[in-house]
């Protein structure tokens, strides 16, 4: 099946794919494994420091040519990319499923997210607007011009191996930038296939080679990319730990960073929450993608008057969850990405129970017949009555939902904001007052706030990102494009006598 998919995606002969049939750990290669079967899919050649140098030079050269292509023409190229991605949506989605274990509809949904951002970018290519300002001086004019920035380094995580690159690459492309993509070593095939589609379209249109891919270790290529002065912007998605290292290295060379790091997202259930909406939405938020989204729901803050009923209903809903092969259309939840993630899940379980958490459902490794992958049980843990459960303050990338209770909305909001991260948040309530309070300046402190929707599954049209340890970056829609361009304030004088600003006189 993999060989056919790679064939249809035109990458079966890609020189980076060292072997499909006898994938084995060899020096200079990495194995892409299927987390569902724990079996190797392919071995992929790793780029070296010298490869990085060549790739960065190509990206710099491509940038110098691409920046002179008019914005709307760049948009037409991105439109052709979107058309091509549409044709390959199923195969690319299946590849995502095979490499990272997302269920089919989420794998395809991710490719759809890239198509959506490409469509958005096409429109944007005609709307890279700058402001004009009235000058305080006669015969003077001030305006802002947005210029392409340079090669952009895009570091992506395993959990969104296609869409997060898409957010950066499609916007960067219409902004006139080239892209150096360093994907997760857990999803190199998705990266090879995605990048190849985009590179092929540009080549057919005779455009510069702006989509560059570098697959390598942090030592060999990651550190070089982050320290590279030719790369004015590093957009990185991953853990808070990784973000701290990257941002310090980029700051040391006074480069710019766009960070989308961890989340510890909570949902508040008010007493008047519509539970037939709130519970399924929160189940998807907590167990969708096996709890491996940065937007996954990790904490449920439930009003004390409905907590017992809610926990009971959740336990029933979790009985319906079908764990299994993510390629099978009836599966809801696939495996975790690797064995280490299972160990982290199990250690969180031990800590939660040591800290007085009550196990409501799940809690262990899951056996799925015929599959040797990294499956765990979707889990609910109820916090002790004093709400003291320190493990819930950490982000564990697994399907664990911690349930807390509260007495009034002020207390709920305080608990909600009482974590280091600030990505996504949600409230379920029929009350306009509660919704307004939650989304007000003294409500949720997150970059994303939802009312009567779960914490994951953002559309591309809004700016995506979060505050505090989430890193502060904004990607995707709205005016996030401004991070991918440089702003020039242009003042033009059309008179013939010198007039200095601030009324300064400098007469001779």
**Nearest distance in Å: CB 457, ligand UN1:** 5
Residue 262 in contact with ligand UN1, rule: CB under 6 A: no
**Are the beta carbons of 458 and 464 closer than 8 angstroms?**
yes
Residue number with the smallest Cβ distance to ligand UN1: 458
Write out 176-234 in H/E/C secondary structure: CCEEEEECCCCCHHHHHHHHHHHHHHHHHCCCCCCEEECCCCHHHHHHHHHHCCCCCEE
Given 113, 260, 270, 475, which residue is catalytic?
Answer: 260
Residue with smaller CB distance to ligand UN1, 212 or 456: 456
Catalytic hit among 294, 302, 446, 475 = 294
User: Could you identify the residue written with the tokens 């167990």?
Assistant: 287
Q: What mask of x and - would describe binding to ligand UN1 in positions 343 to 382, judged by CB under 6 A?
A: ----------------------------------------
Q: Does 458 bind ligand UN1 (CB under 6 A)?
A: yes
CB of 111 to ligand UN1, least distance (A): 12
> What is the CA 442 to chain-centroid distance, rounded?
26
Site string for ligand UN1, 164-193 (x = CB under 6 A): x-----------------------------
Residue 296 sits at the vertex; the CA angle it makes with 290 and 298, to the nearest 5 degrees, is 100
Q: Binding ligand UN1 by CB under 6 A: which of 32, 247, 456, 470?
A: 456
Active site residue 294: yes
335 half-sphere exposure, CB direction, 13 A CA radius: 30
Among 294, 311, 400, 480, binds ligand UN1 (CB under 6 A): 294
User: What does DSSP say about strands 265-269 and 29-34: parallel, antiparallel, or unpaired?
Assistant: unpaired
| Region binding ligand UN1 by CB under 6 A among candidate stretches 12-20, 21-29, 287-295, 351-359 | 287-295
Query: Which of 232-257 are b and which e, b meaning 16 or more Cβ less than 10 Å from the residue's Cβ?
Result: bbbbbbbbbebbebbbebbeeeebbb
Site membership for ligand UN1, residue 237 (CB under 6 A): yes
Give min distance, CB of 230 to ligand UN1, in A: 27
Smaller CB separation from ligand UN1, 164 or 376: 164
159 binds ligand UN1 (CB under 6 A): yes
- Phi then psi dihedrals of residue 194, to 5 deg: -65, -45
In the bound complex, what is the minimum distance in angstroms from residue 446's beta carbon to ligand UN1? Answer: 12
- H helices then E strands: how many in the chain? 14, 22
Show Cβ contacts of residue 279 under 8 Å, excluding neighbours closer than 6 positions: 310, 313, 314, 317
CB of 427 to ligand UN1, least distance (A): 17
Question: Which residue number, 420 or 459, has a Cβ lying nearer to ligand UN1?
Answer: 459
Q: What is the DSSP letter of 154?
A: E
CB contact at 8 A, 52 and 222: no
Cβ proximity to ligand UN1, 17 vs 294, nearer residue: 294
Helix (H/G/I), strand (E/B), else coil: 236: strand
Structure token digits, residue 255? 């480069």
Residues in the chain: 508
Which of 457, 465, 471, 472 lies at the binding interface for ligand UN1 (CB under 6 A)? Answer: 457
Strand locations in 17-69 (E) = 17-19, 29-34, 39-45
**E strand intervals along 351-419:** 358-361, 379-382, 400-406
Question: Is 113 an active-site residue?
Answer: no
Q: For residue 166, give the nearest of 190, 200, 202 by alpha carbon.
A: 190
- Interface region with ligand UN1, contact rule CB under 6 A, candidates 25-33, 156-164, 196-204, 381-389: 156-164
Site string for ligand UN1, 109-128 (x = CB under 6 A): ----x---------------
In terms of Cβ atoms closer than 10 Å to its own Cβ (0-12, 13-18, 19+), residue 316 is exposed
Applying CB under 6 A, does 295 fall inside the site for ligand UN1? yes
159 vs 377, beta carbon nearer ligand UN1: 159
Helix, strand or coil, per DSSP, at residue 170:
helix
Q: Which is nearer to ligand UN1, 188 or 208 (CB)?
A: 188
Residue among 45, 67, 88, 293 that touches ligand UN1 (CB under 6 A): 293
Residue 44 to residue 313: CA distance in whole angstroms = 46
Number of residues interacting with ligand UN1: please give it, by CB under 6 A. Answer: 11
Residue with Cβ nearer ligand UN1 (178 or 296):
296
Least Å distance, CB 100 to ligand UN1, is 11
Residue 294 CB, nearest distance to ligand UN1 (Å)? 4
CB closer to ligand UN1 out of 405 and 470 = 470
- Spatial distance between the Cα atoms of 156 and 142, rounded to a whole number of angstroms: 38
Of 282 and 405, which has the nearer Cβ to ligand UN1?
A: 282
Q: Which stretch binds ligand UN1 (CB under 6 A): 268-276, 346-354, 455-463, 498-506?
A: 455-463
**Which are the catalytic amino acids?**
260, 294
State the residues that interact with ligand UN1 by CB under 6 A: 113, 159-160, 164, 237, 293-295, 456-458
């Amino acid at each position: 099946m993999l060989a056919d998919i790679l064939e249809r995606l035109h990458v079966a002969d890609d020189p980076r794919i060292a072997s499909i049939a006898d994938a084995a750990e060899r020096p200079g290669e990495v194995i892409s494994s299927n987390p569902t079967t724990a079996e190797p899919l392919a071995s992929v050649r790793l780029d070296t420091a010298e490869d990085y140098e060549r790739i960065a030079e190509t990206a710099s050269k491509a940038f110098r040519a691409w920046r002179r292509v008019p914005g709307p023409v760049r948009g037409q190229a991105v439109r052709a990319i979107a058309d091509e991605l549409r044709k390959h949506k199923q195969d690319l989605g299946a590849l995502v499923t095979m490499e990272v274990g997302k269920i089919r509809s989420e794998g395809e949904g991710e490719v759809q997210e890239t198509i959506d951002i490409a469509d958005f970018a096409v429109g944007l290519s005609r709307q890279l607007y700058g402001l004009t300002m009235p000058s305080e001086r006669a015969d003077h004019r001030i305006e802002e011009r947005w210029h392409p920035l340079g090669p952009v380094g895009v570091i992506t995580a395993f959990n969104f191996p296609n869409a997060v690159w898409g957010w950066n690459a499609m916007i960067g492309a219409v902004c006139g930038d080239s892209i150096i993509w360093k994907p997760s070593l857990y999803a190199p095939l998705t990266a090879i296939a995605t990048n190849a589609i985009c590179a092929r379209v540009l080549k057919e249109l005779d455009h510069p080679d702006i989509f560059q891919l570098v697959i390598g270790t942090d030592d060999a290529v990651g550190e070089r990319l982050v320290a590279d002065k030719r790369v004015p912007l590093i957009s990185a998605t991953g853990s808070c730990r990784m973000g701290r290292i990257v941002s310090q290295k980029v700051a040391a060379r006074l480069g710019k960073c766009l960070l989308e790091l961890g989340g510890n997202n909570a949902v508040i259930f008010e007493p008047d929450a519509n539970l037939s909406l709130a519970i399924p939405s929160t189940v998807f938020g907590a167990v969708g993608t096996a709890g491996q989204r940065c937007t996954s729901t990790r904490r449920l803050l439930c009003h004390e008057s409905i907590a017992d009923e809610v926990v009971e209903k959740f336990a029933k809903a979790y009985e319906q969850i079908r764990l299994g092969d993510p390629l099978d259309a009836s599966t809801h939840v696939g495996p975790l990405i690797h064995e280490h993630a299972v160990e982290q899940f199990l250690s969180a379980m031990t800590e939660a129970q040591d800290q007085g958490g009550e196990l409501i459902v799940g809690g262990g490794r899951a056996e799925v017949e015929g599959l040797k992958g990294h499956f765990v049980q979707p889990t609910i843990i109820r916090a002790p009555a004093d709400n003291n459960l320190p493990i819930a303050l950490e982000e564990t990338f697994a399907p664990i939902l911690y349930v807390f209770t509260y007495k009034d909305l002020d207390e709920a909001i305080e608990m909600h904001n009482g974590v280091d991260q600030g990505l996504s948040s949600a409230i379920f309530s029929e009350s306009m007052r509660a919704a307004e309070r939650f989304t007000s300046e003294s409500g949720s402190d997150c970059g994303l706030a939802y009312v009567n929707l779960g914490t994951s599954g953002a559309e591309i049209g809004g700016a995506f990102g979060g505050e505090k340890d989430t890193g502060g970056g904004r990607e995707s829609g709205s005016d996030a494009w401004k991070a991918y361009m440089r702003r020039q304030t242009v003042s033009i004088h059309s008179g013939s006598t010198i007039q200095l600003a601030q009324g300064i006189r400098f007469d001779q």
